[in-house]
Structure 1
Amino acid sequence: MSEPRYVEHGARWTALLYGPLFALLGYLAELATGTTHAIAWVLVGLGLAVITAPWVHARRRFLTVKVTDTELWQGRESLPLAEIAEVDDVGAPAGARVLGGGWSTPRKYDELPIRLTDGTVVLAWARDARALRAALGRA
Structure 2
Amino acid sequence: MKRSLEIPSEEDWGDYKNDLDQKYAYKMFFGKNLAEARLLFQGAVIERTEELRFMPVIPFQYYIGAYYQYLTSLAVLNNRNASDTASCFLRLVESKLSDDPDSISPLMKELMSAIEYLAKNQTLFGADVDIYGDFNEILSEIKRLAQM
Superposition TM-score, scaled by structure 1 size: 0.26
Superposition TM-score, scaled by structure 2 size: 0.25
Larger-gyration structure (1/2): 1
